[in-house]
Amino acid sequence: MDNQEALQRTLNRARRALQILEEEKAGYGIRVPVDLQIDLEEKQKEVTSLEVRLSQLQGKRSESLPDNLPRYNDVFVGRKQEIARCMDALSLEERSWGVTIDGIGGMGKTALALEVAHLARQQALFDAYLFVSAKTTWLSAEGVREETLALSSLDSFCREFAKGLGQTDIVKMTDTTERRRALLDALRGRRTLLIWDNLETLNAEERDMIAEFVRKLPTPNKAIITSRRRTGESAVTIRLDRLLEAEALQLMREKGRSHPRLAQELNATKPEILTALYQASGGNPLALDWTLGQVAHKGYSISVALERLRNAAKSPDLYGFLFADAAQTLSENDRTVLSALVVFMTPARTAALADATDLAITEIQVSLEGLVTLSLVNELDGERFGLHPLTRTYVRAALGGTNTVRTAPLASGIRFDSSAQRKVLRYWVDFAQKYGGRSENYKTYDKLETEWQNLEGVATTLREMAGISVELKDLQTAQMLIDLEHALFNFLFFRGYWDEGVRLGEWVYQVGKALSHWSDAGWGAYHVARVHYFRAETDRAASWAAQMSEAMKRGGSRQNKAVAIQLQGDIARQRQNLLKAERLYHEVLAIFRELKNEPAKAIALNNLGSVARSLGQYDRAESYIKEALAIEVKRGNKERQAVYFGSLGNLALDRNRPTEARPLFERALALDQEVGRQDRVADAQYGLARVLEEEGRYAEALSLALAAQEIRKRLRDKSLDCTHQLVERLRRKAEME
């Protein structure tokens, strides 16, 4: 009501001003000054515009209201922030000509424009609402359909807008420049909303002319442009990204309301399948709609439709509709950048892309600018660039087969050279080898942590390209996978990525066997067994230890074979077969002494100390462990020093010497925290908590025990149960204080 009353007051003032101008005109007779005539015509347009807008608020259907907005009957969900930004852009307070909505195909640009236009009409913001589209293709569940009557130039748009405004004289003009000028003149004094849809189908010259035209729009007219290409520098620009998962699920439910078959399937489908559908679609409304249409109209189950979506990158329908036109314009550098970005699982900076591709920074910048304009790449805060999930899938499909450096066609005929992708994969393997590897390199593990998502994605890509799930088909990527896993394992183990370490170790074991690289296969098996051992999954550890032993017998060095024997000793000790463990550890110690491998000798000594401690032979245990510690103090290896300080702390507790144990655990904890080995941090915290318990400082002990419990719970560590017991015991004691 307030808007209606305010508009009525504005109309009354405009009518009084018009009356004054008409009275002034009457005083001149037939010789009316030009400026007065112009003022009079513009005021007449203003009054007419206000009358039309007021009739909208009053619920009256004015015959003089130009309005050809399509009746958008499909489901619209989400986009609340984008709608608010569009409405702000259409207000008088915003001085730009309007808003540009861009983004990759299928993201709902046209739907958002129409939603905003209908909302503007409800609020009577304009006296005309005109929609004209240059859309050339439509996608349905049946496939892509051509639009034969699509507009292709600024002049054709001007004709349609003039027709919508009832300006037949402008429509009939033969000079295109005059038509544009006349349309702009006709808009003066009006408040029209012009919607220019799907401008990416026009050539660059026509798009530039449209940009110039909308910049000249007389105030308070406004425009909304939708395009897969970024345009409209003087407008508010909204780049549409994926729907949130909750919005996508709402879209599915709303679609089900009008399609009983779809509703039935949705109700019968597990939530995790619907989440998988969302992820496969990349939150793209059109991809979701296409997939749901397979269920509603073709009778597929959602699982089958999901599989069709996952395989759609090589079909002429969905992905051809979304990407084919843009892909035709890509330069060689553009394709190289896309091939690089598909490997980056997190947004990449320009410098990183230059390092990974060997392109110059300026070449990268030029390509990124063009790819952002095409909506194939998203520009994020901090000058970082990333791919939409559907773009990633498209490029991966365009890279195609990987058994040689070759190209593979998509349905659209677009080809990408996989050599660029391989170069980026090698870049990440080199990165892992530079900052990972031996435990002494723990100071650079933060760099691996920062890039873990990228490194994990590289590992998965290498596995897929190597083809180890079926049969090995790519020697180059298979070797890169081995190099990557060997570089990452200590980092993964230190930082608590144990599940990931198991997965990579299993892959490398398979690759090593396929290549007859027995040492590599053996180390992959060792890494898997080690995690299972530290989780007290003894049978699994024993199985992988046997596979390691077999691989090392076929192709490992004497040192590698000794490590396999040592692992057998660890498993025997975990099974409480202490005499067997001791025998195996002595065998290993003799080999490492002969090989003059000091760090390996120290590990064997510490293991013998653990056996002696379990047997109650504390003096022997102390001698073994101190000899191991002396080796690593001399070498300066802080990670191994922390292990041996912890072993001495546990020995002191077994001897009921908490005062002696305290500085040992404190030293171990400080070193473990510096090195960043999570399981050992928990070990030292647990040991200190036991010391504090002996000292009667239960609250402090409980804090440390809870911290250890949290780490061990995340790791599924073998000592989790005893940590639970310590926590509960300390809680009871703390409550009694």
Split at pLDDT 50, 70, 90, the class of 412 is: very low
Give per-residue pLDDT as tens, 205-250: 888 888 889 888 988 889 998 887 766 556 788 888 888 888 888 8
For the segment 132-151, the average pLDDT, to the nearest whole number, is: 58
At residue 536, the pLDDT reads 96
Q: Which residue has the tokens 């020995």?
A: 651
Residue 655 confidence (pLDDT) above 70? yes
Residue 136 confidence (pLDDT) above 80? no
The answer to whether the CB of 389 falls within 8 A of the CB of 283 is yes
At residue 55, the pLDDT reads 66
At residue 198, the pLDDT reads 80
Distance CA 497, CA 487 (A): 14
Residues 6 or more apart whose CB falls under 8 angstroms from that of 73 comprise none
Q: Which amino acid is at 2?
A: D
At residue 1, the pLDDT reads 46
Give per-residue pLDDT as tens, 164-182: 888 888 988 888 889 889 9
Residue with the bigger pLDDT between 65 and 157: it is 157
Q: Classify residue 537 as exposed, middle or buried by CB count within 10 Å of its CB (0-12, 13-18, 19+).
A: middle
SS3 category, 252: helix
At residue 408, the pLDDT reads 36
CATH architecture of 320-426: Orthogonal Bundle (1.10)
At residue 7, the pLDDT reads 67
| Helices and strands in the chain: count of H runs, count of E runs | 34, 12
Q: Which residue has the tokens 């199985």?
A: 543
Give per-residue pLDDT as tens, 683-734: 999 999 999 999 999 999 999 999 999 999 999 999 999 999 999 999 998 8
SS3 category, 417: strand
Q: Which two tokens stand for residue 15?
A: 């009518």
Residue with the bigger pLDDT between 631 and 310: it is 631
411-416: list long-range contacts, CB under 8 Å, 24+ apart: 411/314, 411/315, 411/316, 411/319, 411/320, 412/316, 412/319, 412/320, 412/323, 412/324, 412/327, 412/328, 414/323, 414/324, 414/327, 414/328, 414/330, 416/335, 416/338, 416/339
- In CATH, what number does 80-239 get? 3.40.50.300
SS3 category, 101: strand
Split at pLDDT 50, 70, 90, the class of 402 is: very low
Residues in the chain: 737
Q: Which two tokens stand for residue 495?
A: 């930082």
SS3 category, 225: strand
Residue with the bigger pLDDT between 131 and 137: it is 131
Alpha helices in 245-301 (DSSP H): 245-258, 260-268, 271-281, 285-298
At residue 209, the pLDDT reads 87
Segment among 154-158, 198-202, 406-410, 733-737 with least mean pLDDT = 406-410
At residue 232, the pLDDT reads 53
Sheet containing strand 348-349, strands side by side: 348-349, 384-387, 377-380
In the CATH hierarchy, which top-level class contains the domain 639-737? mainly alpha
Q: pTM score, two decimals?
A: 0.70
Residue 143 confidence (pLDDT) above 70? no
Split at pLDDT 50, 70, 90, the class of 537 is: very high
Residue with the bigger pLDDT between 64 and 152: it is 152
At residue 387, the pLDDT reads 80
Which range among 5-14, 416-425, 428-437, 450-459 has the greatest average pLDDT? 428-437
Split at pLDDT 50, 70, 90, the class of 594 is: very high
At residue 295, the pLDDT reads 80
The reply to whether omega before 220 is within 30° of 0 (cis) is yes
At residue 470, the pLDDT reads 59
Residue 649 confidence (pLDDT) above 90? yes
Q: Which two tokens stand for residue 515?
A: 């290549």
Segment among 47-56, 89-98, 148-157, 283-292 with least mean pLDDT = 47-56
Segment among 61-75, 168-182, 547-561, 715-729 with least mean pLDDT = 61-75
Helices 638-654 & 618-635, crossing angle to 10 degrees?
A: 160
Dihedral angle sign, alpha carbons of residues 296, 302, 304, 305:
positive
DSSP state of 240: -
For residue 122, which of 34, 59, 51, 184 has the smallest C-alpha distance? Answer: 59
Report domain extents, the chain: 2-57, 80-239, 245-310, 320-426, 639-737
At residue 131, the pLDDT reads 86
Helices 318-327 & 285-298, crossing angle to 10 degrees?
A: 150
Which range among 130-134, 183-187, 338-342, 628-632 has the greatest average pLDDT? 628-632
Dihedral angle sign, alpha carbons of residues 630, 633, 638, 642:
positive
Q: Which two tokens stand for residue 275?
A: 């989440």
Mean pLDDT of the chain: 85
Name the percent of the chain lying above pLDDT 90. Answer: 39
Residue 146 confidence (pLDDT) above 60? no
Q: How far is CA 18 from the centre of its chain?
A: 58
At residue 411, the pLDDT reads 42
Segment among 315-329, 538-552, 701-715 with least mean pLDDT = 315-329
Segment among 26-40, 134-148, 221-235, 329-343 with least mean pLDDT = 134-148
Residue 51 confidence (pLDDT) above 70? no
For the segment 604-633, the average pLDDT, to the nearest whole number, is: 97
Distance CA 164, CA 67 (A): 7
The answer to whether the CB of 98 falls within 8 A of the CB of 218 is no
Distance CA 623, CA 613 (A): 11
For the segment 249-258, the average pLDDT, to the nearest whole number, is: 84
Residue 54 confidence (pLDDT) above 80? no
Segment among 308-317, 534-543, 593-602 with least mean pLDDT = 308-317
